[in-house]
Amino acid sequence: MNKIITIIGKSLYYGFEYLSNRRWFNYPFGKRPFADKNKYKRLAIEIKNRNYPEIDSYEDKSGYSIDQDWLHDLALHTQVAIKQSEPCYQHGRVLYSTLSKYLDDNPPENLCDSLNIWETGTARGFSALCMGKALSDQCRAGTILTFDVLPHRTQMYWNSIDDHDGPKSRSELIKPWVNLVERYIIFHQGDTRFEMPKVQTEHIHFCFFDGAHTYDDVLFEFNQIRDKQRSGDIIVYDDYTPKIFPGIVKAVDHICKKYQYHPEYLKAHNGRGYVVAKKQ
């Protein structure tokens, strides 16, 4: 009887998982390009020319800054999108500088030492690639495990300048950066509530959390890594913006206070903030 109950339970679990994922394989962003190529190019130029003094200061303090030409080229294909809110990809700079400084502060004891990095909210792969570049530039070994409901090898339109070449998979979209993908990044498809508990590792050195934006979801993701970080390890939170995402703000403040993380608050503009939380 117990065996039958277990089989039924597993069947229901995987059935629900399949249903919750199905829509992400069928053009979730629409079945045609959002705009012509020139509109994406004009938007990219506008974003490139904006100033972000607080992020500039953060880079200066860390001693590390990402190559700007590399960043803007990657962003044109993976971040410049047509949407109501102001496009902003300054989290790429924050991630690169923060991870580079972490690597500098934590030199490897031997050549086999490798970092475990977790990310939620892969999207088109921008932030994972920025972290991969930090590892590459510092000649360090590491694995970036990134979670998202979007599949990696299913062709779709992405609200990207590349849409005018026809539907592409994420794998095809970021093919120009395949050297970083092959060396560092593992793409894990599915809802984090199902997928994160399946992955077991002893130590997670660095995290970027940019998945679901509710209080409960932020706490859930943190609880998956809570006992796997040590003093000096880091979590970077995106969208720490009180008027827009109060659930994120409440959850991050709770985590930092209760679990002894020192927060550093950064702001690209009034609609986009970040927290770099360091385990004490």
Assign domain 2-279 to its CATH superfamily. Answer: Vaccinia Virus protein VP39 (3.40.50.150)
Place of tokens 């880091």: 234
What confidence score (pLDDT) does residue 49 get?
Answer: 94
Nearest-angstrom CA–CA distance, 42 and 269: 20
Q: Which residues pair with 119 in a beta bridge?
A: 146, 208
For 68-106, the DSSP string reads HHHHHHHHHHHT----SSPP--THHHHHHHHHHHHHHHS
What confidence score (pLDDT) does residue 23 get?
Answer: 84
Taking a C-beta distance cutoff of 8 angstroms, is the pair 131, 236 a contact?
A: no
What confidence score (pLDDT) does residue 16 get?
Answer: 52
Q: Which residues of the chain have pLDDT under 50?
A: none
What confidence score (pLDDT) does residue 22 get?
Answer: 79
Query: pLDDT (tens digit, 9 = 90+) per residue, 191-204?
Result: 999 999 999 999 99
Domain extent listing, the chain: 2-279
